[in-house]
Amino acid sequence: MNGQVQSSRERLDGFSSDTTMDLFRMFGTDRVPAIPISDAEIPLDDSVPTEVDSKVKTKLLSMWNNVKYGWTMKMKANFSKESPVWLLGQCYLKKSEDPLESASEALEPVGTGSQVSLAMDATNFENTIEEFKRDFASRLWLTYRREFPILNGSTFTTDCGWGCMLRSGQMMLAQALVCHFLGREWRWRSEQPIETVQQMRDDHNHRMIIKWFADQSKPESPFSIHRLVSLGASTGKRAGDWYGPNSVAHLLCQAVERTNELPNSKLSRLAVYVAQDCAVYMQDVEDACRTPDGGWKSLILLVPLMLGTDKLNPVYAPCVTSLLTLDACIGVIGGRPRHSLYFIGYQDDKLIHLDPHYCQETVDVSKENFPLISFHCTSPRKMLLSKMDPSCCVGFYFPNRESLAEFMETIQRFVIPSNQKADYPMFLFCEGSRKDLQQGIEVDECLLASTSSFDDHETLEDDLCECEKFELLQ
C-alpha cells in the first residue's frame, strides 16, 4: 500500500488539470481524515502576476492540497502500557495493585521539575488509558479547511500548505477558552444525549467557542483565520506567508484585545500577555489583568522561546516535558521545521500532539446543531522530542491571581535545566515593566553618547527588540 501511495504521488506532477480535478472529486470528501501523506509544505511564490494568473495558480494549489492533505491512510500511534502518559497536567497510568509502584512510575519520566503531589494524584487508579483517549478527544482540533470565503486582499479560499502555525495558535487559544468557560475537567462525549441543564450549558459554550474560530470574516468569529490574517497585514504579512510562533502569539493577543473592546464582550474578564525576550514583567501583567473595579482578570500567558539554534538543545528537553505536567499549561505551539504542531502531552521521549495538516470541508456554524465531529480528533500522534524545532511558544492559563502567584513560587524548578552549572532559565519573572526598562536604557545611552567619541553606535534597545528566534543556550 505504501509503495502504491508513493508511486501515485510521484506521478501527480505529470497529471493534467482534468485528472487533478478528478482526484479532487475522488478524495475531497467530508470524512474526518487520519494522517497526511507528506509533511512537506508547498512553497508559495511571492510574485504577483496578473489577477487571472493568480486565481489560476491559487486554484491549482488548492486542488493539489486537497489531494495532498485529503488523501490519507490509517496509522496508529502506539502507547506503552508500562509508562505514564501526561496530557496538559493530567497523568494517565495503567491500573496497578501497588500504589507505590504507580507513584514511582509517574515520577520517573517527569524529570527534575516534577511535583510529587502530581504523581500521587495519579495513583487513584481512575486515570486509565481510556480516560486519556477521552481527554485527548475533548481538545479542540482546528485544521486546514477548504472552500471558505476568500481571504481579504487575496484569492485564497483555503489555508492548505501555509496556515498550520496559525491553526496551532488557534488550538492553544481554544484550549485556554475551554478552561475559562468549561473547565479543564470538561469532556466531550459525542454519544451522550443532552439531558441536564449543565449539559445544555456546556454544549452552548462548546459551540460558542468553535464559532469564534469559524472560517469567516464575520464579527462573531473574532479568532478566525480571516481575522488573524487581517491583523497580520499590519505587520506586512500576507495570506500565504509563513508565521512563526512569536508572531502568532502577538496576533492572538491582539485578537483578544480587539474583542475586549467590543460592548458586552464575553471575554471582558480575560487578558492575554506575551512575554518579551523570555521575561514576564509583572507590572505589565498587573496593568493587563487589573479591572476598573479593582478585580483581577483571568490570564493567558504566552512565552515565545528559542531553545537552541538549528535543533532543540537537549538540556531543555526535561524542561519541556515538565511544563506539560502542570495544570496551568495549555500546550506548546512549535513542531518540526516548516511544519507546525500543537504539543499537549508526552510519554517517555515522545511528544503527543494535534496536527493541523488535514484538509477538511468548511463547516457552516450558522446552522443550528452544526456537526462537531471535525473539530475533535480521536487519533493521538507522537513525535520524538529530539525532533522538535527550537522555535516554539508555551502557553499557560491562570483563572485568578492566586493561581498565578502559586505558579510563580514553583516554576523555577521547571524552567532551569538540572545539569547546568549556572542558572539559565527558559524564562523568568521580573519586577516593573518593560517600558521602564527601555526608558532606563535610553537614559544610559544618552549619557554614553555625550562622552563617546564615536558618531555611530548601536543602541542597546535593539538588543531588546522582539526577536522571532531569541536563543537561550547553544
Distance of alpha carbon 403 from alpha carbon 299, whole angstroms: 10
* Mean pLDDT score of the chain: 78
Pseudo-torsion of CA 91, 93, 95, 98, nearest 10°?
-80
pLDDT tens for 264-298 read 899 999 999 999 999 999 999 999 999 989 899 99
| pLDDT tier for residue 51 given thresholds of 50, 70 and 90 | low
| pLDDT tier for residue 127 given thresholds of 50, 70 and 90 | low
Distance of alpha carbon 312 from alpha carbon 351, whole angstroms: 13
| pLDDT tier for residue 139 given thresholds of 50, 70 and 90 | very high
Could you tell me if 158 and 108 are in contact, meaning their C-beta atoms sit under 8 angstroms apart? no
pTM score, whole prediction: 0.77
Q: Which residues are catalytic?
A: 164, 355, 357
Query: Helix, strand, coil proportions of the chain in percent (round to 5)?
Result: 40, 15, 45
